Amino acid sequence: MTPLDNGHDLVSRFPEDGEADGSAEGARGALRRDAHDAAHILVVDNYDSFVYTIVSYLRTLGAVVDVLRNDAIAVVGCDIVPAETNSDSSAFVKNSDFSGDGDGAFRTRDVEHVSFADYDGVLISPGPGAPANAGVSEDMIRLCARTGTPMLGVCLGLQALAEVYGASVTHAASIRHGKTSDIELLGVNGRSCSYRGDEASPTEDLGDSAEVKGTVQSMFEGVPNPFVATRYHSLAVDPHTLPNELEVTARAMDDDTVQALQHVALPLYGVQFHPESIMSGSGYRIFANWLGICGQSSAVGRSYGLMPRVPAISR
């Protein structure tokens, strides 16, 4: 399979601040020797305006981030390869022209030089539409399940995780675009979840026995219960269709919608709300906890003092 021939690099590269110039291969080697062991994260861009805000949060916490559009790559076996077709080649020019923070840290690489084994974790971004139409997103989640690679889905990414495991995503009872809700933590961090119906269907084996790269633990360690988060969604996971593999770990207190999911045995996570919103409390800590799951132990310490100043609860 040949890489896309559009004359532009396809991977937006956001190295850690201070990373030396040089080849992609040399940079990865330098990362592994770095004192704070920066996590190397692949962000699947679902054509959403929040993507680079999330990238900024991850970089602030010390991660090295590559961004790939959801139609730039395909999953083959246990690796990623250039997609044979994509719907909008000009979108990659936008990525390549993004100037980063102006300090020369932004670079691009051609997608043919990207290997899934290079990444410590994968983040599936928010985006418009339904998860089934989010390009490689659902296949990427399956790949993370097969390989035990930590994965975080945000908004559309949570819905994709639910669909991969057989749950239904339906129209939400109320549309929440730019609205805050009080979020209650459940399951791992709070009371047992009573959402799941007794008739949840069994799902295909996605690799629950895979060797896990990261640590299966809570995304919400150190987060107040409840806390305020910002929501931008008109679709929601039907909790009664969730399989036993997925646990609801947070809900919205105003309308009882699923706001976070976690796989019971694999480091697969999803949040329906937007941690990167300025009106979401503990956003940096939530991303830092996930980077810790990806193996970057310094992330939580870097998150101290970075939380937006919002009330503990919205009431």
Q: Is the pLDDT of residue 182 over 80?
A: yes
What are the Cα distances from residue 256, in Å, to 68, 157, 165, 179, 229? 33, 19, 21, 15, 14
Q: What is the pLDDT of residues 55-105, one digit of tens each?
A: 999 999 999 999 999 999 999 999 999 998 654 443 342 333 344 443 334
Average pLDDT of every residue of the chain: 76
Q: Is the pLDDT of residue 269 over 50?
A: yes
Average pLDDT (37-52) is 93
Contact yes or no for 278/220 (Cβ under 8 A): no
DSSP state of 119: -
Q: What is the pLDDT of residues 94-113, one digit of tens each?
A: 333 344 443 334 445 567 77
What are the Cα distances from residue 59, in Å, to 33, 85, 99, 188? 18, 30, 15, 27
6 domain residue, yes or no: no
Q: How confident is the model at residue 253, as a pLDDT? A: 87
Average pLDDT (182-210) is 53
312 domain residue, yes or no: no
Q: Is the pLDDT of residue 176 over 90?
A: no
Contact yes or no for 212/263 (Cβ under 8 A): no
Say which amino acid occupies 84. Answer: E
Distance in Å from the first CA to the final CA of the chain: 55
200 domain residue, yes or no: yes
Q: How confident is the model at residue 254, as a pLDDT? A: 86
309 domain residue, yes or no: no
Q: How confident is the model at residue 27, as a pLDDT? A: 39
78 domain residue, yes or no: yes
DSSP state of 274: B
Domain tally for the chain? Answer: 1
Q: How confident is the model at residue 40, as a pLDDT? A: 96
Of 3-7, 12-16, 273-277, where does mean pLDDT reach its minimum? 3-7
Is beta strand 169-185 parallel, antiparallel or unpaired with respect to 79-82? Answer: unpaired
What are the Cα distances from residue 14, in Å, to 41, 86, 248, 278? 10, 23, 32, 22
Q: How confident is the model at residue 281, as a pLDDT? A: 82
Average pLDDT (6-32) is 41
Q: How confident is the model at residue 85, as a pLDDT? A: 61
Q: Which of 293, 257, 239, 265 is nearest to 123 (CA)?
A: 293
d(CA 88, CA 35): 40
Maximum average pLDDT range among 23-37, 132-146, 159-173, 198-212: 132-146
Q: How confident is the model at residue 279, as a pLDDT? A: 80
Instruction: Give φ, ψ of 11 to 5 degrees.
Output: -110, 120
Question: Does 232 or 193 have the greater pLDDT score?
Answer: 232
197 domain residue, yes or no: yes
Q: Which domain holds residue 113?
A: 11-303
pTM summary value: 0.78
What are the Cα distances from residue 80, in Å, to 31, 118, 124, 223, 312? 21, 11, 15, 34, 41
Q: How confident is the model at residue 212, as a pLDDT? A: 59
Q: How confident is the model at residue 214, as a pLDDT? A: 55
Alpha helix ranges (H) inside 37-122: 51-60, 90-97
Of 40-54, 130-144, 165-179, 285-299, where does mean pLDDT reach its minimum? 165-179
5 domain residue, yes or no: no
CATH number of the structural domain spanning residue 286: 3.40.50.880
Q: How confident is the model at residue 69, as a pLDDT? A: 94
Any idea which residues carry the catalytic annotation? 155, 274, 276
Q: How confident is the model at residue 157, as a pLDDT? A: 96
Q: How confident is the model at residue 213, as a pLDDT? A: 61
